[in-house]
Amino acid sequence: MIVPDLNKAAKFAPERFQGSTLVQSPRSKTMVVGLEAGQAIPVHHPKSDLTMVVISGDAWFVGEGEELEHAGPGAVLMAEAGKARGVRAHSKTVLAVVVSPPPTEEDHRELAEHFKRGTWR
């Protein structure tokens, strides 16, 4: 699969970040994620390895024991399975995300709890 422009592939919604799957196999999932300013993928600890790259915008990356308050285009967050990861957009942001293996419903329970509480960390 070739995606000529991830910025054009990204979707946005006022209530929450939007992830669009580009390709998925039993071993990995590749997505483009759109976040409006202030939206977040809360810090969580799924059982998947993750690589996240800022394509456009400005975001706050949180990784296991590390933070980058202004992650701009080209910034990369890598997290091993079970390690903390999260992102909060300062401005409209587009991310390329690869997870391996694809996350399960169990992996998303921690996210659901954050959304219920209105927290991201």
- Computed over every residue of the chain, the mean pLDDT equals 96
Q: What is the 3 state secondary structure string of the chain?
A: CCCCCHHHHCCCCCCCCEEEEEEECCCCEEEEEEECCCCEEEEECCCCEEEEEEEECCEEEEECCEEEEEECCCCEEEECCCCCEEEEECCCEEEEEEEECCCCHHHHHHHHHHHHHCCCC
With cut-offs at 50, 70 and 90, classify the pLDDT of residue 32: very high
pLDDT class of 4 with cuts at 50, 70, 90: very high
pLDDT digits (tens, 9 = 90+) for 61-119: 999 999 999 999 999 999 999 999 999 999 999 999 999 999 999 999 999 999 999 99
What pLDDT, on the 0 to 100 scale, is given for residue 60?
A: 98
Q: Confidence class of residue 47 from pLDDT cuts 50, 70 and 90?
A: very high
Q: What is the pTM of this model?
A: 0.95
Class of domain 6-117: mainly beta
